[in-house]
Amino acid sequence: MTRTSLLRAFVAAALVTAGLHGAAWAQAVRPEVGKPLQEAQALIKAGKAHDALAKVNAAEAAPNRTANENYLIQQMRLAAANAAGDNEATIKAGEGILSSGRAQGAELLRTVQTIAVAYYKNKEYAKAAQWTQRYFKEGGNDPAMRTMQLQSYYLSNNCNEVGRMLGPVTEEGNGRRATEEELQILARCYLSQNDTGGYVSAIEKLVVLYPKKQYWTDLLARVQKKPGFSDRLGVHVYRLKLATGNINSAADYMEFAQLALQQGVPAEAKEVMDKGYAAGVLGKGDESSRQGRLRDLINKSLADSQAKRAQDEKDALAAKDGGDLIKVGLNNVYEGKADQGLK
């Protein structure tokens, strides 16, 4: 084997070790190009990537370089720059490799991935998202790249793309199930944009898939501020607060009871007040007399409701809509007559 062919074989083997390989190795490499590339590879393996870049520059200084030699130089520059943490040089070398049209298959995919990561490290998040999207279009499937793409959209304040990536969320988990961390990223993205509607939508997804008390607490504290929220739904918010352990103050118990009473369900209002007194939240302090008056009003309303329940049910059945039937049913349920109420 001649010195030139030996050198070519050594360089090829060394570069393959670094994950750089392709049809270019089958073509001639002159010593004035191959030797500094060999030295660059050895320096990379020794943890001296910055010195390796100088050797790559020496190879590039050789006159009359062939297209193949230029390609190999860019491959080694990519390896050295990436190892040195020089994101700008990594991007330039990677884009040079791709523009040559020589990279194919795994090498092309690896180069696109390296460029995407370099843009991310360089805090050019919009570019990182674009190159990560290309990575997947080229057939990549590394889950870490999906996370990076999500973070790139988030860090470039592109909340809509974060939401699009996660897709619709259903309790049944149709399709890919978004992770809790991913949905937290979506929520933080909208929060950073002061987008209340988007933030509430993200928290809604969290309570569907990961129904923790802290998410319910956050959601129920904000949902009434969501654009388009109807005041008539306020009682439902309090029902959810009660069900998730998020009613603790006297004001909450009082507001809930009054809303239930206004909705024509005094049996529910009584249950709420009873829970407030049992918890030791109601019946003390400066507001105790007002709380007592509300309790008396609720008891009187419930007695009146029970006295004319049969007529109310008859009238509700004859009504054009089911609103009054709901009230009759709910009162029965909260009085302990679940079967009758649900019917």
Residues 6+ apart with CB under 8 A from 113: 135, 140, 142, 145
For residue 61, is pLDDT > 70?
Answer: yes
Token pair for residue 180? 């809790």
Tens-place pLDDT, residues 242-287: 999 999 899 999 999 999 999 999 999 999 999 999 999 999 999 9
Question: pLDDT grade, residue 72 (50/70/90)?
Answer: very high
pLDDT at 170: 56
The rounded distance, in Å, linking the Cα atoms of 182 and 163 is: 10
The rounded distance, in Å, linking the Cα atoms of 317 and 86 is: 76
Question: pLDDT grade, residue 223 (50/70/90)?
Answer: confident
Question: How many C-beta neighbours within 10 Å does residue 38 have?
Answer: 23
Nearest one of 301, 260, 256 to 276, comparing CA atoms: 256
> Residue 38: left if φ>0, alpha if ψ -120 to 50, beta else—which one?
alpha
pLDDT at 227: 78
pLDDT at 9: 38
Tens-place pLDDT, residues 165-187: 887 765 555 567 888 999 999 99
Q: What does residue 176 show for φ and ψ, rounded to 5 degrees? A: -75, 135
Can you give the pTM of this predicted structure? 0.65
* Percent of the chain surpassing pLDDT 90: 76
For residue 19, is pLDDT > 70?
Answer: no
Higher pLDDT, 153 or 172: 153
The rounded distance, in Å, linking the Cα atoms of 335 and 314 is: 19
For residue 6, is pLDDT > 70?
Answer: no
**187-208 mean pLDDT:** 91
For residue 15, is pLDDT > 60?
Answer: no
List, as one string, the DSSP characters of 161-185: HHHHHH----TT--SSPPPHHHHHH
